[in-house]
Every structure is written in C-alpha cells, then in structure tokens.
Amino acid sequence: MDIFEQWESNVRGYCRTFPTIFKSASNARQVDEEGRSYIDFFGGAGVLNFGHNNPHMKRALIDFIEADGPAHSLDMSTSVKRDFMKAFADTVLKPRNMKYKMQFTGPTGTNAVEAALKLARRVTGRTNVIAFSHGFHGMTLGSLACTANDYFRNAAGVPLEHVTRFPFGCDIDDLEARYADSSSGYAHPAAVLVEPIQAEGGVNLASAEWLKGLQEFCRKHGALLILDDIQAGCGRTGSYFSFDDMGLDPDIVCLAKGIGGFGTPLAMNLIKPEHDEHWQPGEHTGTFRGQGFSFVAGREALKYFENDDFLKDVKRKGKEMEARLNALAKSHKALGMEVRGRGMLYGLDVKNGDVAKAAVAHAFKNGLLIGACGTGGRVLKLIPPLTTPDEDLDEGLGILEAALTAVGREAA
Amino acid sequence: MDIFEQWESNVRGYCRTFPTIFKSASNARQVDEEGRSYIDFFGGAGVLNFGHNNPHMKRALIDFIEADGPAHSLDMSTSVKRDFMKAFADTVLKPRNMKYKMQFTGPTGTNAVEAALKLARRVTGRTNVIAFSHGFHGMTLGSLACTANDYFRNAAGVPLEHVTRFPFGCDIDDLEARYADSSSGYAHPAAVLVEPIQAEGGVNLASAEWLKGLQEFCRKHGALLILDDIQAGCGRTGSYFSFDDMGLDPDIVCLAKGIGGFGTPLAMNLIKPEHDEHWQPGEHTGTFRGQGFSFVAGREALKYFENDDFLKDVKRKGKEMEARLNALAKSHKALGMEVRGRGMLYGLDVKNGDVAKAAVAHAFKNGLLIGACGTGGRVLKLIPPLTTPDEDLDEGLGILEAALTAVGREAA
Amino acid sequence: MDIFEQWESNVRGYCRTFPTIFKSASNARQVDEEGRSYIDFFGGAGVLNFGHNNPHMKRALIDFIEADGPAHSLDMSTSVKRDFMKAFADTVLKPRNMKYKMQFTGPTGTNAVEAALKLARRVTGRTNVIAFSHGFHGMTLGSLACTANDYFRNAAGVPLEHVTRFPFGCDIDDLEARYADSSSGYAHPAAVLVEPIQAEGGVNLASAEWLKGLQEFCRKHGALLILDDIQAGCGRTGSYFSFDDMGLDPDIVCLAKGIGGFGTPLAMNLIKPEHDEHWQPGEHTGTFRGQGFSFVAGREALKYFENDDFLKDVKRKGKEMEARLNALAKSHKALGMEVRGRGMLYGLDVKNGDVAKAAVAHAFKNGLLIGACGTGGRVLKLIPPLTTPDEDLDEGLGILEAALTAVGREAA
Amino acid sequence: MDIFEQWESNVRGYCRTFPTIFKSASNARQVDEEGRSYIDFFGGAGVLNFGHNNPHMKRALIDFIEADGPAHSLDMSTSVKRDFMKAFADTVLKPRNMKYKMQFTGPTGTNAVEAALKLARRVTGRTNVIAFSHGFHGMTLGSLACTANDYFRNAAGVPLEHVTRFPFGCDIDDLEARYADSSSGYAHPAAVLVEPIQAEGGVNLASAEWLKGLQEFCRKHGALLILDDIQAGCGRTGSYFSFDDMGLDPDIVCLAKGIGGFGTPLAMNLIKPEHDEHWQPGEHTGTFRGQGFSFVAGREALKYFENDDFLKDVKRKGKEMEARLNALAKSHKALGMEVRGRGMLYGLDVKNGDVAKAAVAHAFKNGLLIGACGTGGRVLKLIPPLTTPDEDLDEGLGILEAALTAVGREAA
C-alpha cells in the first residue's frame, strides 16, 4: 500500500474502506494479492451488472482486440458501434415501442446528465431545473448542482445555481400549486431531473404514481422529464429500465454504468426525436464517446435481455435478498432498520452512519465488499452482480447478518 | 450507415466528416468495412499516441483479461493501478524531481479540469478563474466556462460564469497592472488555467517566457497555476510534458487522453502535496476512476519513456512534418498559410474554414483522416500516432499536399 | 396627458390606472387639475402614513428650508439627522429595549434590502437566502432575486440566483427537516428574509408562531432573520412595527417608505450591534443616504408615537375598515371574497384579477384611489393614510362597495 | 457626536472624514453647529450643482409646499412632473434633436443603472455587459457587478457576474478583435456601460474618439451603448451632458444626482423609443419614482440651461480651477501630481492615498470640504457647486494649496 500512501491524492476514498490490493476478479468475487477472496455486493456501484470478467464478454473482447478492432473512435462510425446500436434498438427500444435517438456522450454518467441538461435548456429556453433531495447525478459542475449531498456540493467552490430543490416524493399537488401561481417566485423549469430509484441517495424508490405526476407536471409546464437511470437501469431492478411498466414516457433517459457491460466506460442518452433536433452537430462533444470495448461488451450484455430468463432470475434472487434482509431487520429490532429496494438493488437503512460504517468494516474482514450510502452513510447498499451465484449471494448475506449482529452487540 | 441515420443523435459530428464505417485499425491506419485503408493523422485527438492496437499493449491487455484482472475498481487499490502509479513516479516524476500527488478523476479530460478547478477554489477560497481565448478544456459546465469556443458555449443553456478571459499570449505586464489595481474591477483569481499548447484552439504555442510570466503572476497574486496538458502531453511534443524544459513549476497538471495508452479512458491530475491536503476523502468521486485496461496499457506506454530513443524519433519525425508543411505553405503562397507546432503536433492554418473543410474532404477521399480546429475550423491539425511509420507519414503528407493543391486550384 | 404620452417611457404604470393629472393633495385626498377630489386609499403604497402635506411636517419643512437647513448631506452628520436618530432611539428603540444600530442606506426600500443581504452574507460567509412566495423586496438585482412575482422577475434579464424559495407560511417542521438533512441539497442559508405582512403580495399575514419558528430555525442554522417591515411598519398595523408583541428578536429590520414621513425618501436598517461590526466604513454607500427633508418630516412623524393615542385611533379605524369589508364580502357571496389585514392595512381578495381591475376603474371614476396587488392583481389593497378622517374613510369604503356591487352585477 | 457613535452603523463614512455636525448650508458653504463655515468642494458628490439652498428653488419649494403640491406620487401623473418633463424636453432634448423617452426609475443613480441593464438585456436577449476599470455605477447587486472598486465589490457576498471588464480607454481595435473571433471566449454583450467621465474612479476622461469607437463597436455587435452621466451630467462639465459635442448617439443615458436640483433624489433614464417599446407597463417599478420636490427644484435647475450664460460661466470658473491646479502641481513637482478634468469637475491625482487623506484632513481643519477618489483614494476630487462664487472658489483653492504644501513638507 506504500505506493498509494506515497503517491495517491488524499481524495482517494474506497481504498480506505477496503484496505487491500485487488489482483483479480471473477463474477461476484474479487481476490486480493494475498489470495483472499471477497464476495462483491458493491458491484462497481452498478457497473458490474454482469459480473467481473463475464466469460462471454471476455471472449468477445479478446477476439475484438486480436482482430485489431477500433478501441477508440470519438464519434466516428464503427462496425461495433453499429452492432451495439442495432442490438439496443432491437432488444430494448423496439419491443417497448420507444422512439428515441441515442446520444453517446462522454463515457460516464455525469457527461450524460450534463448533455441532458444542456438539451433541456436549449429546447425550452429556460435555465432552471428541478431536482430532488438525496439525488445523485454526478460531480461536474452542471450535474453537481443537481446532486443533493452537501459533502460533494461543498467541494464545488462556487455557488451551485439554476436548480430548484424539492423533497423526493414531494406532494405533486403542492408542486403544481407553486408553479401555477405566477407570484410564487419559482422559475419556470427547463426540466425535472429524477432517478426512479435513488441509489446513492439511500435506495429510495419513487412510486409510479409520483413519477407519472411529475410527467404530467412537466407536460403542463413545458418542461422536459429527464429520468436518470444510470445506476438503477440495465436490468438491475428486474426489468431493463427501472421504470418499465410504470406507464412513463420520458423526454430523455440517461444511461451509463451498466451499459458498458464489462466495467468499461460508456454513457448514452435516449432522446425523443423532436428534442434531438435541437442539437446541432458537434455541440456536445468529448474524446471518449466511442469506446470500442464498451460497444463489444455492451452488445454482449444486451443478449441477456433477448428473452425473459435472465430478468426472471434477477427477480428471484432479489426476492431472496429481500426476504433475508427483512428477517435480518426483524431480528435486530433494536436497530430499527428499514429495508428498501427492488430487483437486486437493496438498501438496509440502519439509521446511523457509525453503525453502517462498523458493519462495512466487519463485513470486509469476513470477506464481503459492501458500501454505505444515504445521508451520513447510514444505508448499507446491496448491489451485487446480477449474475451472482446463489451460493455467493447466500454467503454474502450471511456475512452481512453476522456483521450486523456483531455491530448490534457492540452498540448494545 | 442507415443505423446511424436512424438511431444516432443529430449531435454526432466526426462521422459526418469521415462518412464510412471503420472496422479495424492498426498503428497509423484505420480500415473501413469496404477494406479501404486510411492513414490516421487524427490520432484520436491525441489519445492514440502509441498507435491503434499497439502490439505491446494488445499482448498485455489480452494477458490481463485472460488472468481475470480487475477491469473496473472505482478507486479501490489494484495491482495494476499500483504498477501504473509506480511506473509513472519512476519514469516521469522522479527523473524530473517533481513532487506531486496523483488524483485519478473521472476518466476524461473534462473530469480532470473540473477537479482541478474545485481544488483551486478550495485552496484559495476564491471563485474566479483566468482562462484564455481559444482555450479548450471540456464540455461539462465547470470546464465549459473555461472553454472559449462560442459554438460549444452556446449549448450550455446557462450563463457561463466565474471565469475572466484574456487573450492567449497576452501581455503579462498589462495583466499584472490590472490585478495590481484594486479598482480595476478584476476579481482575485483562484487559478490561471492554461494549455501550454492549445490544440483544439488552432495549435497555438505559448512561449516559455509567457508561461513563466503567468507562473510569477500566480505566485504574486496567490493563485494556482493549472497546466492543461491533456492533448499535448504524454510525449506528443517530443518531451513527456509539453512544458518540459520551460522551467515551470505548476501547481496542478491535468493529464488524460494519451495516458491511457490504448484509447481507453483515463485522466489524472498531478497536484502539489500542499494543495492536495485540502482534499477530503471522497469529495470528488466518480465511477470510472480506476480503469484496469487503461492502467495496463498506460503502464506499457510509460515504457516508451524509459530512455530517450522514442522521443528522439518523435522529434525527428516532427522535423520532417514541419519541413514538409513549410514547403507546402511556401508553394501555395496565395493561401497565406501558416505552420505552427512542435514535436508531432502541427497546425496548418489555411486562414479559412471553407478551404480547410474542402481539404479535409479531399484528403478523406484519398485515404487520409485529418481534422480541422481553431476559429471557424480554419486550421488543419496533424496529430498522427507518435509511432507512425515514416512511409505512412510521407504518404499522408503527400495526400494533404494534393488536397491543398486541388483546393487551391478550385479557390483560384 | 400629451406630455406623458409623448415623452414618458412605456414602463409607466399607475398613471394608466389613474388617468388624470394630480395638482395638489391634502391628508387623505388628492385633487386633479380639473378640481376633482379623490379619496386616497392607495397612500403612496405605504409612504403616506401621515397624510399628504401633513400640517406639522409642512411647517417644519418650511422652517427648515427657510433656515437653510442642509437638504443633502450623504452620510455626513447633520443636526437634523441627529435629532431624527435621537427621537427614533427614544421613541421606538428604548421603550422596546431594542439594541440596534441604524444604517441609512440609499433612500428606498430596495437599498435597505440590498444592504441587509450584503451584511447577512458577510456575517455568515454564505451566499444563499431563504425568501418566500408572494414576497416583495424590491427591483434591484439583489432584492429582485428575493421578490416572488414573475412579472418583475422576468425583467431581470439574467437568472435570479442565490435564493431558495418556500411558501409563505410553510410548515416549519418540514423546513427544519430539509435543512437538518445534509443530503437534502439545500444550501446553508445566510438569512431568512420575510415580511411579517406581505403587502404587495396580497396582504398576507404571518402568524407570530410561524415567525417565531423561523427565528428559531435561524438561530439553529446560523442564519440571520431579516424582517422587511418596509410597507407594514411605522404604525401601519396599529403598532410601530408590524411584529410588535410577537416576541421576535430579528437580526436586521428593514424600514423605508413611512419613516420619511412626508413622502420624501428615506430607508434605514436596524442591525444588531454584533452583526453591525462586520461592516467596514463606507462599504455600502449611496448618494442619498442623508435626506434633510426626510429627517425633518420623519422626526415629526415620530411624535405620533410618543404616546398611545395615535395608534389607538389607527386600531379603531382599522376595526371599522374590517367590519365594513367583512360585511361587503358577506353581501357579495358569489364573488367568494376574502378579507385579510391588520391595523389600517387591508386586502380584499376578490380572487380574480379582472374583477379587481374593473373595481379599481369603477372606484376611480367615483373618486377613490385604490390599487390591486397579489397574484394577477386579484387583491384590492386598502392602505389609506393613518390620519384619514372618519368621513373620508366612510366615503371611500362606500365608493368601494358601490364599485364591487357594480362589478358584481356585470359579472353576473 | 455621541448620538452618531452610539446609534449609527459602523458603515458610516463621510462623517468620519468631516467630523462635525452641519447645521445649515448655503450655496457653496456649509456651516456647522459651532458656527464654523466650510467651503464645499464636495458638492454632494455631484448632486449640488446649483448650490445648497438655491434661492430660486427654495422659493419654488416653499410655494409648492404651501400650495399642498403632491410631494409623493409613485408614477402617477402630476402637474409638476409634467412641467419638469416639458421643460426637460424643451430645454435639453429638442435643441439637441435628441429623441428619447424618459423613464423615472427609483430616485438614485443605482436604480437608473439597474433599469438600464434590465432593458439592454431584454432588448438583446443577452446577459453579459461590458464595463470598465475604475467605473462606478452603484451599490445594488446589478450595478455593483459593473462597479470596479474591490472595496465595494467585496461587500457583495456573492460572486458578481454577467460583466466583462476592460480597461477604461482600452484599445478599440483590440476589443473589436476579441469579439470578432468566435473562439475568443467573450460572451456577446447586451450593452457597453461607460461613464464619459469617471468621477468616483479618479476623474478619468474618455476621449470622444474612444467613445465613438465604443459606439461603433456596439452597433456592429448588436449591443446597446449606455452612458452613465449620473455624476458628470447636468451642466457639470460646462455642457449639459458631459458628452455633448462628441458626436455620440447613445441608446440609453442614465441621469440622477444633479437633475433633482436641490439635493432631493431623482433619477431618470433617457431611452431611445425603439428600445423603450420593449418595456411592458410596470415591469420596473419603485415607490419613489415621482418626487414632487425634485420635479419642482429640477424644473428650476433647467432654467439655468435656457441660454448659454450659465454654462459659459461654468467654463470660465473651470479654466480658473485648471490653471490653479496646474500651477499647484508644478510647484510641488516632488509629488508628481497630475491634473485631470473638464468644466468644474477636476481631479488632482497625488498618486498616493495617504497623501490625499492627509490633505483632506488638513483642508477640513482650514474650512474646506473636499473628498478623495480613485484607486486607494489617491485623487482629490473638486466638484464644487457650479454656482460657487469666485471668492469662495479662490479661497477654497487657496486652502487646498496650503494643505498640499503642508502635506508635501511633512512627506519631505
């Protein structure tokens, strides 16, 4: 670890939570240089939906490299980009009758959000955006203004403006009343930016009704509805989009993390064609918009969605997670824990950041990687690869239970 | 191309300039699906310093994948990250006696710039940043405010603030006079952000004297000097940093593009330790800070700098480029062309965006990929892989000469 | 009127509502060039608390002018300024045991608010201010950002930032919950800026309990409580301050309008001494901070508050107004009118801007000046001089009743 | 002085420079409570162009008050407002063939500037304004962003944005080059805001050529030219406007200070009719837009401009001032003083704030009120009433000479 101590910036974070050096990783496990194996309930913060070194993707990537496939292409057209786009259209868009254009922004979620904000402001001619408490949308200045967490916001160094904040799950009639009144002092919004499931914010689930209310609000007030499905999309919740079956028709959907498949960066916005026309060529650019590896692995990932088998299995394992977590919460009533989640994304709110931190440390020692999220880091977030074998899931949940039991004992 | 027409956003750009579908790429050549081979003077906008599918990197990547190396790790510690950092310290920092911390930001240049701006504002407690005409620093809101080009700025949708602009190469005494006067109305700067060579801005070279003047200005006024070496660094100019041998001691250096080696995203800030202490753990985060492939390929790239052979060759080829471009400018006096550059980064300023565009199109038809930059796209930018074989360099320059001859004839 | 048509800006407003030329004015009446007399329920929007050409003030002003008193003095010390300040301290501050410093800002309410905002930001080192729906605080950029009305805000030409908006009368627990949560995305406030009675906003009354809740919120979160008593202060509500007897201890109180007494401009902030120390000499300046006429007339005005007689009479007349308005509302049930107010400041909310406009026009024709306020101008605002004779009050209310009867008939 | 020490805010300024209590004032003299008479070279910072208690105005004001003239009328039409407007049109506008609308903003200069900025942004749809070093435009947030002095700016508490700064007298070709280049990073300006003579900024004179250059720049780039003639207008420079005879055709002219005549607040923008049409009724409002006293006294003031006698006399006295100041500068060569000015507005730049401060204090002791301006307060500003008798002018200049001799001796 000396090299990291000596040379890496003080800003480094997760390497402090998981103080070891990882050498290899396969599906739901990471192995450190000492040969210790860890079950991964962290899942690259939603990137590794298909596991570390997914064998289909490994094969495809090696073939691609050996065939001198174009690894980097800005936004030139490449064979693999076409194949990815076609597969995405065929597998995801067409079956849902979704008519959207695909924009490949810079390769991370924050680029997608920044691009979406630009377009919404262009389309509406307005500057203000509505975002929500506990929302997380990225670290660059435009996205950061929409992100709610003080710790991140305080690092901006400039006031974060052009965003009006409301509580996640706020009363829609109340919202409507404020914007209907021309003397309420609320600026007309260019967009409502919302995560159907707030992952970093503490695994908070928006109801279909609330999201539909927001959509209706947007339609009425000439604002765009932007769904940030960066962490919860790509199969994580047991459906491709976290908002499938909610009857929504968003103007822009931001995707990243999981769509690159293998842990390679890729970000993509889905944009309604009538809004997309407001873009002029090259207005939002970026060096890393055409990631060959991500198109190859991402295309493999889409195969998981060609029929329902995979998502059914995700749901099945998710139910198992939920049951175990509920039992855990029940057996530690003193902690007053709350279980929230859907598909294979679960939060165990232990209501106390110190308790969560202690549980994370205990779990790490026993071979489980799990992170904390939410206000003050009080929510343990379970976001394992969707391909996690049952036995790893079982073992990981066991380690978590033991950690909470130990921590609960200490607290008592 | 139907797939792209049908599904890709109107914002797409380079695929319009180079209207074909690339299937493979090797060193300085890309090959399309028709089997047509193109010499690549575009070089991934500075990413592909070591050529497409560099054989050393290919080998290392395949080995890494086959060994289940961790492709994605946020900012956890991994063996390959350590190896990269150690090699960077040993090969780049120590020989220069540079004491810096390394921060891996999100994987693209704009993330590096955003992080540098945050830190400079934190360190100084000021909001304003000095940036320069023709500067390019990225597309996210904080970086975009520093970027000069109207076309990009107009897409922001909000006023771009907290930046004071001066001409690139402005008179330092004049700058100093403005900031020395407490009634001049210029806000105390948190930082001066400058590219030693403006690549996108038209291949404009800052003199050592000017940069030293800026550094002195920064020291005097308590501002940080941030050098954005994202496009011109990593060997491009015949030295590792574009500012080597200029006697500079920047507070932060932003690197990206070339350091990932293979075209895989990676971005890193070098930060003086006394500034780095102002970061608190996890204040600037990002999903894609730890890119296994980039560490592997980037570590291979560093081997090119273990002795002087490679950079000598870059300089030799650069001289050849310069000579050919100067001859070309001379032989087309009517166009009034200007040649600017260093190492293997050259701009041929044809003073007219339409002429440049026509030349790009002509060159493409004859098998050369070259891009335009600068105000109105009037500068042809030559940024071929540093590993470009002499015969490809020669052939590419020939195609460029022919294009300009043809365009010149049409214009006459 | 030709001169006005020909030469005055299109922005002119009230002269359209009251299309005549006023030649003289005395107590509660204005007389136009045709010799027509109008009862003034408009009261200079709260300026003319002591009537037009108050005889005591007239005498004092003429004496002052004849004695070559200093009409203009920036913030130099003058005899009349001292006399005003001493009288204000003796009459207003000391009896209430209020320890405040007096800052004479530029002479209008917006200057007072701008100065208060500057100081609150200086004291706290924060930028954000909490303001409320329907709040009115002025037309200059800092105050305008706090003002709620879209019509005014849309004229700013730049985004209005650094303000977080909540509904007037919002739930304090809800407010508290948002600011207690470090991930709610609400910036720490420098101040809460609130009118105890929103006059322009539609005559909305804050409860003592709510204001105390805001004060407690401020104390807890390190924010300053700024009470804008510009329109409702100086005796208007039957007490000197509109918030007398509410148990409040504001950090800053903004006063203007009524304190100049005669309709001459004056504005003053009352500032807790511990905050006032954060001002450095001359940091907030202004040409018209020392208005001799205003000090002279304002000092006369303070005599009204040397004992309780005047305020008792204000309350008595206020009760009369209330009773008449309630009866009016009752007798026009179809209009669904609502009566709100205190002292001699009353709003008759007719719930419809067109109805209000028609009533204003009707009343004008019959010799009553009354204005509309609130969202869409749907609230008739009664803010006659506090010195209005009973017979004028009675006659004016009669004209208003007739207007509403006529308008109600038309609407039916 | 106890009352001021005890009760007045720490922000008070001029009362510290002139530590006495003024009781009366007549023409160019102020008298304190001790009966000490001071010659006034301060002139209310440009307000008192016609002297303290100008006898014509006194008479008119007393008549107005005795006749119950409307002292306060918001923007209702009054007889005195009409008379003022007609006189202004007849005396000032028509003879110059100037076609402008008059907007009465709030009564101080900063209101006029804020209104002008709003309109320029509305007309152009742009946010950015060009302003200059050493410019002074007011203390409210919109104007303050245009004001150059750090001391004032630092009190804002928020970043001051939407303004691009250039040196006063900057090279117009250089300015043009920056805005002609679409990659220079300068936002298209809504307006250029400039004082033809910077008074507070140190008595800096713009050349006609430079101002015409700015005007041409504005026309070319679709920006409005706003001339802030608040301190230097209304006869101060020997012509009504400071820019008379310069061949200028500004879009908006901001007037205040001197137009009220007697030291009573009034501010007015002159707006080209085609721009004025962009105002909607009541969009920029303010309680104190219709100041009866100011209309009465301001109308009297206009009589001074009905023929050339008055301005000729101003020029004659100005020449005398200039000659005396030049002689003074010559006789104190060691101080390296510089004399700048026109009409009866002169600055004596002693190049050192401490020297200026000492001279001000010395002069005060000897019965002269004079202020300092410019960077660090290093310029003594002479702005006596235009009606100053020759003997007072002579005596005042003598006191100033003595002060500088004494200060020069001390410094030696």
DSSP string, C260-311: GSSS----EEEE-HHHHTTPPTTSS--TTS-BHHHHHHHHHHHHTTSSSHHH
Task: Quote the tokens at residue D276.
Answer: 């004025």
For residues A239 and A107, membership in a common domain is answered with yes
Residue type, C406: A
pLDDT for C408 equals 82
The answer on pLDDT for C1 being more than 90 is no
Any residues with CB less than 8 A from the CB of A260 and at least 6 apart, and which? A47, A107, A266, A291, A293, A294, A297, A298
Contacts for C348-351 with beta carbons within 8 Å, 24 or more apart?
A: C348/C379, C348/C380, C348/C382, C348/C400, C349/C202, C349/C203, C349/C374, C349/C378, C349/C379, C349/C380, C350/C378, C350/C379, C350/C380, C350/C404, C351/C378
- Euclidean distance between CA atoms C386 and B379, whole angstroms: 74
Of A183, A374, A375, the CB nearest to C149: A183
Residue type, C217: F
- Euclidean distance between CA atoms B19 and B1, whole angstroms: 8
Contacts of A159 in chain D (CB under 8 A): 158-159
Strand pairing report for B21-26 and B29-32: antiparallel
Task: Quote the tokens at residue C147.
Answer: 């003002």
Q: Does residue C58 form part of some domain?
A: no
Closest by alpha carbon to B348, among B368, B328, B334? B328
For residues C340 and C396, membership in a common domain is answered with yes
Chain A residue with the nearest C-alpha to that of C162: A161
Of C148, C186, C374, the CB nearest to A185: C148
Closest by alpha carbon to A166, among A151, A157, A156, A178? A178
Read off the pLDDT of residues D147-178 as tens digits, 9 standing for 90 and up: 999 999 999 999 999 999 999 999 999 999 99
Give mean pLDDT, residues A44-63: 97
Chain A residue with the nearest C-alpha to that of B272: A9
pLDDT category at D334 given cuts 50, 70, 90 is confident
For residues A96 and A181, membership in a common domain is answered with yes
Task: Quote the tokens at residue D342.
Answer: 């026109």
Contacts of C158 in chain B (CB under 8 A): 159
- Euclidean distance between CA atoms C40 and C48, whole angstroms: 10
Give mean pLDDT, residues D94-120: 98
For residues A242 and A261, membership in a common domain is answered with yes
The ipTM (two decimal places) reads 0.97
The CATH number of residue A101's host domain is 3.40.640.10
pTM, rounded to two decimals: 0.97
Residue type, B171: D
The CATH number of residue B364's host domain is 3.90.1150.10
Closest by alpha carbon to A375, among D393, C177, B363, D215? C177
Q: Does residue B199 form part of some domain?
A: yes
The answer on pLDDT for C390 being more than 70 is yes
Residue C305 · residue C50 · CB < 8 Å? no
The answer to whether the Cβ–Cβ distance between C158 and B158 falls below 8 Å is no
Token pair 């702005």: residue: D383
Exposure of D346 in the CB half-sphere (CA atoms within 13 A): 29
The answer on pLDDT for A297 being more than 80 is yes
For residues A340 and A219, membership in a common domain is answered with no
Last residue of a domain, one of C305, C331, C355: C305
For residues B146 and B114, membership in a common domain is answered with yes
Structural domains of chain C, count: 2
For residues B171 and B235, membership in a common domain is answered with yes
Read off the pLDDT of residues A60-105 as tens digits, 9 standing for 90 and up: 999 999 999 999 999 999 999 999 999 999 999 999 999 999 999 9
Token pair 């020449």: residue: D319
The answer on pLDDT for B187 being more than 90 is yes
Any residues with CB less than 8 A from the CB of D272 and at least 6 apart, and which? D99, D100, D101, D251, D252
Q: Does residue C59 form part of some domain?
A: no
The answer on pLDDT for B276 being more than 80 is yes
The answer on pLDDT for D410 being more than 90 is no
User: From the candidates C129, C173, C181, C183, which should be mutated to test the interface with A, based on the most A CB atoms within 10 A?
Assistant: C183
Q: Does residue B60 form part of some domain?
A: no
Of B13, B24, B142, the CB nearest to A141: B142
Residue A230 · residue A254 · CB < 8 Å? yes
The answer to whether the Cβ–Cβ distance between B156 and A262 falls below 8 Å is no
Q: What are phi and psi of C355, to 5 degrees?
A: -60, -45
For residues D243 and D285, membership in a common domain is answered with yes
Of C7, C18, C62, the CB nearest to D65: C62
pLDDT for D333 equals 86
Contacts of B381 in chain D (CB under 8 A): none
pLDDT category at A332 given cuts 50, 70, 90 is confident
The answer to whether the Cβ–Cβ distance between C10 and D276 falls below 8 Å is yes
pLDDT category at A1 given cuts 50, 70, 90 is confident
- Euclidean distance between CA atoms D37 and D52, whole angstroms: 13
- Euclidean distance between CA atoms C402 and C39, whole angstroms: 14
Average pLDDT of every residue of chain B: 97
- Euclidean distance between CA atoms A213 and A209, whole angstroms: 6
Read off the pLDDT of residues C270-305 as tens digits, 9 standing for 90 and up: 999 999 999 999 999 999 998 999 999 999 999 999
Taking one residue from A and the other from C, the number of pairs with CB-CB distance under 8 angstroms is 97
pLDDT for C334 equals 82
The answer on pLDDT for C412 being more than 80 is no
For residues A187 and A128, membership in a common domain is answered with yes
Contacts of C159 in chain B (CB under 8 A): 158-159
Any residues with CB less than 8 A from the CB of D402 and at least 6 apart, and which? D362, D366
- Euclidean distance between CA atoms D400 and D383, whole angstroms: 13
Residue A80 · residue A61 · CB < 8 Å? no
CA distances from C153 to A187, A324, C295, D139 (A): 9, 54, 33, 19
Q: Does residue A45 form part of some domain?
A: yes
pLDDT category at B412 given cuts 50, 70, 90 is low
Closest by alpha carbon to A293, among A92, A60, A50, A54? A60
The answer on pLDDT for B1 being more than 90 is no
Of B133, B164, B186, the CB nearest to D181: B133
For residues A85 and A161, membership in a common domain is answered with yes
Residue A101 · residue B8 · CB < 8 Å? yes
The answer on pLDDT for D412 being more than 70 is no
Any residues with CB less than 8 A from the CB of C250 and at least 6 apart, and which? C215, C225, C226, C227, C243
For residues D124 and D162, membership in a common domain is answered with yes
Distance (Å) from the C-alpha of residue B37 to the closest C-alpha of chain D?
34
Closest by alpha carbon to A216, among A245, A243, A250? A250
- Euclidean distance between CA atoms C78 and C70, whole angstroms: 7
Complete DSSP assignment for C152-186: HHTTSSS---SEEEE-TT--HHHHHHHHH-TTS-P
Residue type, A241: F
Residue B223 · residue B202 · CB < 8 Å? no
For residues B266 and B395, membership in a common domain is answered with no
Give mean pLDDT, residues B137-162: 98
Average pLDDT of every residue of chain D: 97
Beta bridge partners of B61: none
Instruction: List chains touching D (3+ CB pairs under 8 A).
Output: A, B, C
pLDDT for D37 equals 98
Read off the pLDDT of residues C339-372 as tens digits, 9 standing for 90 and up: 999 999 999 999 999 999 999 999 999 999 999 9
Any residues with CB less than 8 A from the CB of A154 and at least 6 apart, and which? B283
pLDDT for B410 equals 78
- What is the domain extent for residue B347? 2-53+308-411
CA distances from C88 to A25, C303, D8, D161, D181 (A): 77, 10, 12, 38, 59
Q: Does residue D59 form part of some domain?
A: no
Q: What is the 3-state secondary structure (H, E, C) of chain D?
A: CHHHHHHECCCCCHHHHCCCEEEEEEECEEEECCCCEEEECCHHHHCCCCCECCHHHHHHHHHHHHCCCCCECCCCEEHHHHHHHHHHHHHHHHHHCCCCEEEECCCCHHHHHHHHHHHHHHHHCCCEEEEECCCCCCCCHHHHCCCCCHHHHCCCCCCCCCEEEECCCCCHHHHHHHHHCCCCCCCCEEEEEECCEECCCCCEECCHHHHHHHHHHHHHHCCEEEEECCCCCCCCCCCCCCCCCCCCCCCEEEECHHHHCCCCCCCEEEECHHHHCCCCCCCCCCCCCCEHHHHHHHHHHHHCCCCCHHHHHHHHHHHHHHHHHHHHHHHCHHHCCEEEEECCEEEEECCCHHHHHHHHHHHHHCCEECEEECHHHCEEEECCCCCCCHHHHHHHHHHHHHHHHHHHHHHC
Q: Does residue C60 form part of some domain?
A: no
Residue B81 · residue B290 · CB < 8 Å? yes
Indicate the burial class of C94 (C-beta count within 10 angstroms; 0-12, 13-18, 19 or more): exposed
Exposure of B312 in the CB half-sphere (CA atoms within 13 A): 4
Percent of chain D with pLDDT over 70: 100
Read off the pLDDT of residues A220-253 as tens digits, 9 standing for 90 and up: 999 999 999 999 999 999 999 999 999 999 999 9
pLDDT category at B335 given cuts 50, 70, 90 is confident
Classified as helix, coil or strand, C230 is coil
Chain C residue with the nearest C-alpha to that of A182: C150
Report the sign of the C-alpha dihedral through residues B148, B150, B154, B158, in that order.
positive
Q: Does residue A64 form part of some domain?
A: no
Last residue of a domain, one of A305, A327, A353: A305
Last residue of a domain, one of B305, B327, B357: B305
Give mean pLDDT, residues C194-200: 98
Residue C215 · residue C225 · CB < 8 Å? yes
The answer on pLDDT for A411 being more than 80 is no
Report the sign of the C-alpha dihedral through residues C38, C41, C43, C45, in that order.
negative
